[in-house]
Chain A
Amino acid sequence: MEEIKSRLNRSFATVFPHLAPEKIPGANMDNAGSWDSVAHMTLLTVVDEEFGIETDPEDAENLTSWQALFDHVSSRVSGAA
């Protein structure tokens, strides 16, 4: 789990370079200023690349927070294992 958190944080830091590291785990589309619809699609793709998964664009509207993405990635990675 810690490794997933660390890698997810790295993805967030790539897409939102100005987001303070301590704010990443609590980030969502409402409180992260630069997290707009374009950044959202970019973030999903970067997360896909980081974890080697393929997220359906239709799921995007439910993955609008760090926590939701963490849960999504955790289920996909553990499901593949």
Chain B
Amino acid sequence: MTLTEAIKITNRSADDHENPQRIHLVCGFTPLHLETFLKAYGRLRSGGSGISFIAGLYGDLAGNLERAGREASATIVVMEWADLDPRLGVRDLGGWGADLGPDIVTEVSGRLARLEQALIKTAERGSVAISGPTLPLPPVAHTPGTRASSLDIHLSEMVAAFFSRVTGMSGVRAVSRQRLDELSPLQDRFDLKMELFAGFPYKQRHADVFAGLLIDVLYPPAPKKGLITDLDNTLWSGIVGEIGITNVCWDLGRKAQVHGLYQQLVAALADSGVLVGVASKNDAAVAGEALRRTDMLIKEGSLFPVEVNWGPKSASVERILKAWNVGSESVVFVDDSPMELAEVKAAFPQMECLLFPAGDPEAVWKLLWQLRDLFGKDSIREEDRLRSASLRSAAVIGDVGEGEAPADFLAGLNASITIDSRKDTADERAFELINKTNQFNLNGRRLTEADWKSSLQQRASFLVRVSYQDKFGPLGKIAVLTGAMDGGTMYVHSWVMSCRAFSRRIEHHTLDWLFRHSGAKTIGFDYTATDRNMPLQEFFRGVTSDELKPGLMLTESEFREKCAFLPHRVEEMADTAATG
């Protein structure tokens, strides 16, 4: 975007918001246009919320980071070579002699160590987006510029080691150097004249691209949940109904490697918890046999549901969405046919529909990266690996009938629920559930990492995490509650449960445990009806006769009267300080 466009966006933000979200912008130079672009991208990413930045002192990166306090909910750290040693910049004249190399290395090492210590404290308070040097080194080494100097290699090695350590801290994410290189070529970044005149070292285009990446890293978009793929000329090369099961291919020898790369990525996505379904117009028996070929890179068991028929693709997609119980906005559809993509897009306008460009390897490469971006996540947890298998078992339970499964069926599940009330604020899965669950969600409220950590640091607060498993396998951690005790009343501030865990009375067990464990006779809920939390509303209608409205209160006697059936075994991992 141009600077004019960015200012117009931020002007709208200033008009609309009296209490903008505050972010520390930690850098050693005058942030000038970078700050403007950050505000603009921040507003676009937040859906309109205002963002203000707290900048520090010129030339004191580490000091600025050390002084960054609790007044901001997140931090952006922009590091350039001059911040690690002023002799690596252009505004100081400390010398570039060959004998200075060891001293520069020592200086850089010391400053990186100081930054690392400061980052440890900053990361405890909220999210951090950080970038390593984006600008070229000056001609400080004695070697010609065509050759990598030992100083250059040594400095890069130290910075790489620093990033390896700090990105291991919870909440610290680094900008991808590769992506920055793609979007902002090195030779188009440094504005020497502007740096000398105004202390701002970036060309405008670089400031624009860099700001967009920093906001992406700080506030990553919610990853998509499911991928629906076509088969012929997409998952493999060829039309299986015409050339036969053994002749569809995805290998280098038959010039079909791009399909192998696609399979390889889809398999990796499935391993990381992405739901992968198939929508194909084909003979079901033939396609099924092809999917069972032992040389497939993605195993048949990773694909669910497999909708192979001659009906419209949109109907297949609709059935897959129902089996997954996810919204179309969380799903990506990939097909080699523009017509099929258009048909599905017309039925599900919010779905991302992407062409598989089989004849264009460069375009396939872009597609693979696009899919990585759409499904990328910070970390992969056990629950991610369990997701597909648990949906299969949910489908079995769903086959019993609509709504809750019959009592004898539930009792026969041999299920156990584990309720963990230890207050682990570093539990990323719990934080993730709060921020991505829509249907069984007490109020739809999203939390920043800073909100999450500070609310759980309150003395009377509690955190309850619920896991489940039955004879079909584990679902992992599927529900989270937070709240606080106030006298004899318990107040629940957040309550979410994964849709994979519906119809099993886990929510009933959770409330039963809360009443028993806390000794509270009444539980108050920070309830708000949202467009999507109908399953939660349905649950409350089953356990209380009161009108559902903010400030909803539930007494133990009414709950017990309406909820006698608790079929599962409950195990506890309790922290006595948490709810008592």
Q: Which residues of B contact A56 (CB under 8 A)?
A: 193
Contact, CB under 8 Å: A45 / B3: yes
Given A38-B30, A38-B32, A42-B36; A49-B3 close (CB under 8 Å) = yes
Contact, CB under 8 Å: A14 / B11: yes
CB of B33 closer than 8 Å to a CB of A = yes
Which residues of chain B (181-239) have a CB below 8 Å from chain A? 193-194, 197-198, 200, 204
CB of A41 closer than 8 Å to a CB of B = yes
B194 contacts which of A11, A17, A37, A57 (Cβ < 8 Å)?
A: A57
CB of B265 closer than 8 Å to a CB of A = no
Chain A min CB distance to B309 (Å): 54
Q: In this complex, what residue of A is CB-closest to B194? A: A57
Q: Which residues of A contact B3 (CB under 8 A)?
A: 42, 45-46, 49
Contact, CB under 8 Å: B193 / A45: no
Q: Which residues of B contact A49 (CB under 8 A)?
A: 2-4
Contact, CB under 8 Å: A41 / B32: yes
Contact, CB under 8 Å: A17 / B11: yes
Q: Which residues of B contact A37 (CB under 8 A)?
A: 198
Given A49-B2, A56-B193, A57-B194; A41-B7 close (CB under 8 Å) = no
Contact, CB under 8 Å: B204 / A41: no
Q: Which residues of B contact A11 (CB under 8 A)?
A: 4
Contact, CB under 8 Å: A14 / B7: yes
Given A41-B32, A42-B32, A46-B7; A57-B2 close (CB under 8 Å) = no
Chain B min CB distance to A2 (Å): 21
Contact, CB under 8 Å: A14 / B8: yes
CB of A60 closer than 8 Å to a CB of B = yes
Chain A min CB distance to B373 (Å): 29
Chain A min CB distance to B343 (Å): 42
CB of A71 closer than 8 Å to a CB of B = no
Which residues of chain B (1-44) have a CB below 8 Å from chain A? 2-4, 7-8, 11, 14, 30, 32-33, 36
Query: A38 CA to B53 CA in the complex, in Å?
Result: 15
A60 contacts which of B2, B197, B200 (Cβ < 8 Å)?
A: B197
CB of A19 closer than 8 Å to a CB of B = no
Query: A15 CA to B202 CA in the complex, in Å?
Result: 20
1/0 per residue, CB under 8 A from B, across A18-42: the answer is: 0000000000000000000110011
Given A45-B33, A57-B198; A50-B4 close (CB under 8 Å) = yes
Chain A min CB distance to B203 (Å): 11
Contact, CB under 8 Å: B33 / A42: yes
Query: A42 CA to B6 CA in the complex, in Å?
Result: 11
Interface of B is mostly: helix
Q: Which residues of B contact A17 (CB under 8 A)?
A: 11, 14
Which residues of chain B (500-552) have a CB below 8 Å from chain A? none
Query: A56 CA to B7 CA in the complex, in Å?
Result: 21
CB of A3 closer than 8 Å to a CB of B = no
Query: A46 CA to B193 CA in the complex, in Å?
Result: 18
Q: In this complex, what residue of B is CB-closest to A17? A: B11
Q: In this complex, what residue of A is CB-closest to B10? A: A17
Chain A min CB distance to B50 (Å): 14
Chain A min CB distance to B455 (Å): 36
Q: Which residues of A contact B7 (CB under 8 A)?
A: 14-15, 42, 46
Query: A57 CA to B193 CA in the complex, in Å?
Result: 7
Q: In this complex, what residue of A is CB-closest to B3? A: A45
Query: A50 CA to B36 CA in the complex, in Å?
Result: 17
Chain B min CB distance to A50 (Å): 7
Contact, CB under 8 Å: A14 / B30: no
Q: Which residues of B contact A57 (CB under 8 A)?
A: 193-194, 197-198
Query: A60 CA to B198 CA in the complex, in Å?
Result: 10
Query: A58 CA to B197 CA in the complex, in Å?
Result: 7
Q: Which residues of B contact A50 (CB under 8 A)?
A: 4
Query: A53 CA to B204 CA in the complex, in Å?
Result: 14
Query: A50 CA to B7 CA in the complex, in Å?
Result: 13
Q: Which residues of A contact B200 (CB under 8 A)?
A: 41
Contact, CB under 8 Å: A41 / B8: no
Chain B min CB distance to A8 (Å): 13
Q: In this complex, what residue of B is CB-closest to A37? A: B198
Contact, CB under 8 Å: B30 / A46: no
Most buried by A among B4, B32, B36, B198: B4
Query: A46 CA to B8 CA in the complex, in Å?
Result: 11
Q: In this complex, what residue of B is CB-closest to A47? A: B4
Query: A45 CA to B3 CA in the complex, in Å?
Result: 7
Q: Which residues of B contact A15 (CB under 8 A)?
A: 7
B198 contacts which of A14, A41, A46 (Cβ < 8 Å)?
A: A41
Which residues of chain B (27-74) have a CB below 8 Å from chain A? 30, 32-33, 36
Query: A67 CA to B2 CA in the complex, in Å?
Result: 24
Query: A4 CA to B267 CA in the complex, in Å?
Result: 59
Q: In this complex, what residue of A is CB-closest to B15? A: A17
Contact, CB under 8 Å: B204 / A45: yes
Q: Which residues of A contact B30 (CB under 8 A)?
A: 38
A14 contacts which of B4, B32, B33, B197 (Cβ < 8 Å)?
A: B4
Query: A11 CA to B7 CA in the complex, in Å?
Result: 10
Chain A min CB distance to B461 (Å): 42
Query: A74 CA to B193 CA in the complex, in Å?
Result: 24
Q: In this complex, what residue of B is CB-closest to A46? A: B4
Query: A50 CA to B8 CA in the complex, in Å?
Result: 13
Query: A11 CA to B226 CA in the complex, in Å?
Result: 45
**5 A–B contacts, CB within 8 A, in A order:** A38-B32, A45-B33, A46-B3, A46-B4, A49-B2
With A38-B32, A42-B7 already in contact, 7 other A-B pairs whose C-beta atoms are closer than 8 Å:
A14-B7, A17-B14, A37-B198, A45-B3, A45-B33, A49-B4, A58-B193
